[in-house]
Structure 1
Amino acid sequence: MNEEIKPYTISIYTENNIGLLNRISAIFQRRTINIESLTTSQSEIENVNRFVIVVNITEAQAEKIVKQFEKQIEVIRAYYHTDEETIYQESCMFKIKSDLLFEEPQIQNIIKESNARIVTVNKEFFVLEKSGRRNEIESLRRDLNIFGIMQFVRSGRISVTKEEMKITEMLSAFNN
């Protein structure tokens, strides 16, 4: 049986300990799985961080990886979800020469049509911010590339699940 390879969002709730990122990436490295995106931040629970990792794998691989993460001492819980089970976005910023904002009327149309937002403008450059799906960000990048992009940066995926994860209740029960 040949399982379909598709994007999975892996969420790992952890204590914030030094060296954990190395161990997490080593689990993917041992299985020769490339990480498409990785974001880490405070979770909805105080003193608990959340890693959001996107990988293209089979469901069987996702199950094994989640079990492997839960063997790590600092990992409280790990989950995997398909794109259909999550609401997700990425964020990006573009730095572009200011002259273009005033000399190229097309730039203003691109900004408006893409729902990007101007964060700052000065004599040398302006900075655009855009949040959305990766394909929307890539489309904007292609449109702006024609005019020249001085700098570009994109975040990893941030996501929430459509279904309740019940991690908060589990942790409060665990702490009592």
Structure 2
Amino acid sequence: MEEKQLFTISIYTENNIGLLNRISAIFQRRHINIESLNTSASEIEGVSKFTIVINMTESNIKKIIGQIEKQIEVIKAYYHKDEDTIYQESCLFKIKSDLLFDERQIQNIIKDSNARIVTVNKEFFVLEKSGRRNEIELLHRELSAFGILQFTRSGRIAVTKQPMEISKILSAFNAN
């Protein structure tokens, strides 16, 4: 039996309204939970990139990629195993300011986690942390003991270790 694993999907698209709904519907129809979703500009002007993380078997992800590529605005879709990508997530923590000055342990947690203080005022301070999901989850657990006023985490952002053929394809396409 094939084992489920985390895959990162890279989808290069035209930037059209409603495409996100159609792509997410592909997962919804199959009752597949999206672990992480990020959309951004890509390395090619005028082309957007979706980065989606899902947990499933490789044979099923191949079927999903085929369905995604049937969408008119999708230029190309790829899937990658974790070992084939370099990836990060980013998060922000909002915490009461008095803790920063009164709790020596908070300062040690910030230093040890390589988090960065973004802003400080009388009521609160904001920490930013970029890294792997497990690093962010560890920091979250450590700070939870002191009370977190707000927390938000981005979806995964990723680049592949190997060159992407899409860059050559689109460069040639844009040259015409």
Q: TM-score, normalised by structure 2?
A: 0.98
Taking the aligned partners of 2:144 and 2:135, their CA distance within structure 1 comes to 14
Match of 2:12 in 1: 13
Match of 1:145 in 2: 144
SS at match of 2:54: strand
Instruction: Please identify runs of 4+ aligned residues in structure 1 that moved more than 4 A.
Output: none
Map Cα deviations across residues 55-91 of structure 1 (whole Å, 9 max, x no partner).
0010011111111111100000000000011000000
Instruction: Give RMSD over aligned pairs.
Output: 0.7
Match of 1:43 in 2: 42
SS at match of 1:156: coil
Match of 2:26 in 1: 27
Q: What letter is aligned with 1:14?
A: T
Match of 1:107 in 2: 106
Q: What letter is aligned with 2:5?
A: K
Pairwise CA distance, 1:171:
1.3
Unaligned runs of 5+ in 2: none
Q: TM-score, normalised by structure 1?
A: 0.98
> Identity percentage over the alignment?
76
Taking the aligned partners of 1:105 and 1:89, their CA distance within structure 2 comes to 28
What does 1:18-167 align with in structure 2 at a 5 Å threshold? 18-167=17-166
Residue correspondences, number: 175
Unaligned runs of 5+ in 1: none
Taking the aligned partners of 1:52 and 1:167, their CA distance within structure 2 comes to 15
Taking the aligned partners of 2:97 and 2:171, their CA distance within structure 1 comes to 51
Taking the aligned partners of 1:69 and 1:174, their CA distance within structure 2 comes to 21
